[in-house]
Structures are given as structure tokens and as C-alpha cells.
A and B are shown apart, each in its own frame.
Chain A
Amino acid sequence: MAANDFRAQESANKGKTYFLLASMGLLTGLVAYAALTYFGAGTSTFMVPLAVGISLIGVWGSYYGSDKLVLKMTGAKLIQREDNPELFNVIEEVVIASGLPMPQVAIVVDSAPNAFATGRDPDHALIAFTTRILEVMDRDELQGVIAHEMAHVANRDTLVSAVAATTAGAIAILSDFLMRMMWFGGGRRDRDSSANPVLLIVSLFVLILAPIAATLLKSAISRRRESLADATAVSFTRNPAGLRKALEVLATDSTVVHQKSNAVAHIWIESPLDGKAVSKMFSTHPPIEERIATLRAMESLGN
């Protein structure tokens, strides 16, 4: 089996996700430890669970109700089979190939070709398409796009990104708390006076840099999940050319979705923030050329 086929791609991307999620956990531990060194046990035993709790409540709500919430945030409208039988035909084909339950289908009126998937589990999945993507794509390309979205559903990417967002959120809240306490409370109240000064400085750096590191890790996880979804999509359709052509259409199209909120930027098949992204390290999607090249490599294997 060649190194670039979809099965190898899938397991590589899954492995990297686990590694990144583990790094997230490690980072949280590091921040908690830094808090402990800097502020002593009294403050940290209270702060750390509080930060995790706040983040958990915030993210859990949006994860659990993701299908309904995203409908509101993107202005997508649910449609039934009668509204677009041909689209439903293609979706049903991919549903059979994936063995997943039939998702809800929605349409976003928008002049940019794009699509997304959400929902807390395969039974509450929702996939949505802009009106434009249905106009510009032929059946094969659309099948590739649908397979990519169903791949997100199969890989439970709403859950993965919720976990990543909770951790990143907890780290951000925690470091924010601690920084404020440092400025206003003078900090170090219950600190052991014999604490190692080097350790203190390191802890301070950890607190300052952790939120950025968490954001970078979150973006890296999102990029891995996109690559994984491309590979899983090929395992559904066994036709890398369809998705590759679809991505080429998206790459040549410069219009971006007029979305109501940047908070849902990461769920689209093509990032609507492309032009605005600060750098490659912060973007939620791998470069589209890279995704096309990977699919091309799969095509040459004939699977």
C-alpha cells in the first residue's frame, strides 16, 4: 500500500490530531503549574477549575445545539427533498457510501461557492451549501464536496473542535485572570518566599505566551481535521478527482461568503478568512493548493 493513499492519509491525520490534543492537555497542565508556582496553592485550586468550568459551559452549549446555532449564525434555511431532488439524490449517494444517517440539508443564499457541516453527532448532523456552489459545480464536484462534509460528520469534527475550543478558552480565561491579579492584587500573596526565581520568571512567560500557543494549537488541529476530511471523503467516493476539481473551482473563485459572524469561519469547506489570515500558522484550513496536490497524488494511485 502506497504512502499516499487515503487510508494512510487518514491514519496520519488522526495520529497528528491525537498528538495536538495531547499537546493542548499538556499546555493546560503547564499553565496550571505556572499558576501554582506564581500564586501558590490557595489561588490556583480555585482558579483552574473555575476557568475550565466557564469555558466548558460556554463551549458545551454551542456544541450541543450546534446545528440550530449555526443555522442562526449563517442564515441558512433548511430544505426538504422536494426543494432540490437532484441535490438530495447526490447526498443520498454519499450517505449510502458512508453508512451514516441522512443529515439535515440547508441552503445559504450567498454569491460565494461554499459549504459546511455541523451537528453534535451523526444523528444531529446538518450540511449546508451556498446557492452559488450548487450553480457552479457539476455532479462529480458536488459529490466530492458532500463527501468532504459527510467526512466531517463521520470524524466527529464538531466534537473535536469543541474540545480544542474548550481547552483554548480555559487557557485564555486562566491567563487573563492571573495577569489581572498580577497587576491589581500585587499577586504572590500566598507564595512560598523561598520559591526559585528562575521558575517564577518561566511561569510568568508561560502565562503570557500560553493563550497564543493555545490558539496556534487550535488552528493546527483544525487544519489536520480538514486534511483528514479530504482523505475520508475519498474513502467514501473513491474518486479523488471530484473533490480535487471542486477545490480548484473554489481556489479560482475569489468571492468570499458574506457571513454574519467570524466565529463560524472554521466550519466552511473553503475558509472565508483566507485573505485576512495573519499567517499560515493561524489559519484554520491548510493551503488549498496543498489539498489539491494531496488529492492529485491519490488520483495517480488509482483509488
Chain B
Amino acid sequence: MEIIIALAVLGLLVLFFIAQYNRLIRLNISVDESFAQIEVQLKRRTDLIPNLVETVKGYAKHEQGTFDAVVNARAKATTASGVADVAAADGMLTQALRGLLAVAEAYPDLKASSNFLSLQEELSTTENKVAFARQFYNDNVRNLNTAVKTIPTSFFAGFAKVTEREFYEVEDPQDRNVPKVTF
């Protein structure tokens, strides 16, 4: 009798260990997957850029500075690797594209062209997808980091070779412009 109880307890313990271990591995994989999703969306965006720049150039030839900023940011974005680098390049490109769209505002013919309108729709949906992919990645990182730091999963983190992961933080100067409050 005692041996059956002992075996049952042992069995439950093993199941518990397996569950904790698998949870950590699953969380780690979902962080990898969601980072891949960010990269897919960033790639989509960089692919849109040459076409967009050409279209805007057709109407607004004298905005060379803006075009250069976009092209440079795009070049950086295509070579970046690692969470911090990709995030930094992503932020730069987001800024440059904002500049490009601001330029387009000044050219009514351009804004009315069907080519530009469809590019603008593509770009805005891609921007949203990039933003949601970042948010999903950060949520996954948050879940993983919580699991790595809290009991009982924290006991298994070393064994599963799972460590805390880096959040995807985009440098956006606009975010820092906290509205001034005067009394």
C-alpha cells in the first residue's frame, strides 16, 4: 500500500515538473515566433518603400532631403539584427516615413492619385501590423519574464535554459513630447 502511495506521489511530482518545464519552453517559443512576426511585417514595410518613394518623387521632385532620410533608414532597417538594433532601425524608419507622408500632404495632385492612395492604405495597415506585432511580442516577453521570475516556474528556468528576454522598445521622439501642463 505504502509503495503505491509513494509511486503515485512520485508520478504526480514528475507530471508537475514536466508541466512547469513545458510551460517555460512554450513561452520561450512564443517569444521567438512573435519576434519573427515583427520581422515579417517590417520586411513588408521595407518592400513598400521603393514604390512609395518613386510615386512621391513623380510629384514632388524637390524634397531630396526627405527621400534620402527614408532611403537611409530603409538601408539600416534591412541590415539590422537583434532585438535592440531592429527596434532602433524600426523607429528611425517610422520617423522618416512620417516625414515623407507629411511632404505628400503639400501636393494635392499626389494625394488624389490612385496609386498613392492604394500605397497609403498599404502603408497604414502595415504600420498597424508592425505596431500590433510589437505589442504581441512585448506581451509574450512579459509573460515569459514573469514566469522566469516567479515561483514555481523560476526553479526550472535554469534547467530549461530559458532566461529573461528583451522588450522591443522603439525610440519615438514624438512619444517623449509630454504635453506641458501649466497652472
| Contacting pair B129 A99 (CB below 8 A) | no
Chain A residues with CB under 8 A of B28: none
| Contacting pair A93 B121 (CB below 8 A) | no
| Contacting pair A96 B125 (CB below 8 A) | no
Q: A96-B41, A99-B34 are in contact. Are A89 and B132 (CB under 8 A)?
A: no
Measured between C-beta atoms, what is the minimum distance from A86 to chain B in Å? 6
| Complex partner residue of B128 from A86, A93, A98, CB under 8 angstroms | A93
- Report the bound CA distance from A97 to B140 in whole Å: 11
| Contacting pair B37 A92 (CB below 8 A) | no
Measured between C-beta atoms, what is the minimum distance from B51 to chain A in Å? 16
Cβ-based interface call for B89 (8 A): no
| Contacting pair A89 B136 (CB below 8 A) | no
Task: Give the A-B contact count at a CB cut-off of 8 A.
Answer: 29
Bits for B92-131, please: 1 = Cβ < 8 Å to A, else 0. 0000000000000000000000000000011001001100
Cβ-based interface call for A12 (8 A): no
Chain B residues with CB under 8 A of A96: 37, 41, 129, 132-133, 136
Measured between C-beta atoms, what is the minimum distance from A90 to chain B in Å? 7
Q: A96-B37, A96-B41, A99-B34 are in contact. Are A89 and B133 (CB under 8 A)?
A: no
| Contacting pair B129 A92 (CB below 8 A) | yes
| Contacting pair A86 B121 (CB below 8 A) | yes
Chain B residues with CB under 8 A of A238: 135
| Contacting pair A90 B34 (CB below 8 A) | no
Q: How large is the interface on B (under 10, 10 to 19, 20 to 34, 35 or more residues)?
A: 10 to 19
User: Nearest CB to that of B133 among chain A residues?
Assistant: A96
| Contacting pair A97 B136 (CB below 8 A) | yes
Bits for A98-118, please: 1 = Cβ < 8 Å to B, else 0. 110000000000000000000
| Contacting pair A93 B125 (CB below 8 A) | yes
Measured between C-beta atoms, what is the minimum distance from B123 to chain A in Å? 11
Chain A residues with CB under 8 A of B34: 99
| Contacting pair A89 B121 (CB below 8 A) | yes
Q: A96-B37, A96-B41 are in contact. Are A89 and B125 (CB under 8 A)?
A: yes
User: Nearest CB to that of B132 among chain A residues?
Assistant: A97
Chain A residues with CB under 8 A of B41: 96
Measured between C-beta atoms, what is the minimum distance from B134 to chain A in Å? 10
- Report the bound CA distance from A236 to B128 in whole Å: 12
- Residues of chain A in range 228-285 having any CB-CB distance to chain B below 8 Å: 236-238
Highest count of chain B CB atoms <10 Å: which of A93, A94, A96, A236: A96
Measured between C-beta atoms, what is the minimum distance from A89 to chain B in Å? 4
Chain A residues with CB under 8 A of B129: 92-93, 96
Measured between C-beta atoms, what is the minimum distance from A94 to chain B in Å? 8
Bits for A118-147, please: 1 = Cβ < 8 Å to B, else 0. 000000000000000000000000000000
Chain A residues with CB under 8 A of B121: 86, 89
Chain B residues with CB under 8 A of A237: 132
Bits for B122-157, please: 1 = Cβ < 8 Å to A, else 0. 100100110011011000100000000000000000
User: Nearest CB to that of A98 among chain B residues?
Assistant: B136
Measured between C-beta atoms, what is the minimum distance from B115 to chain A in Å? 15
Q: List 20 A-B contacts (CB under 8 A).
A: A86-B121, A89-B125, A90-B125, A92-B125, A92-B129, A93-B125, A93-B132, A94-B132, A96-B37, A96-B41, A96-B129, A96-B133, A97-B132, A97-B135, A97-B136, A99-B30, A99-B34, A99-B136, A237-B132, A238-B135
List 8 tightest A-B contacts by C-beta distance, closest first.
A97-B132, A89-B125, A96-B132, A93-B128, A96-B129, A96-B133, A93-B129, A99-B136
Given A94-B132, A96-B129: 14 more A-B contacts, CB < 8 Å: A89-B121, A90-B125, A92-B125, A92-B129, A93-B128, A96-B133, A96-B136, A97-B135, A97-B136, A98-B136, A99-B34, A99-B136, A99-B140, A236-B132
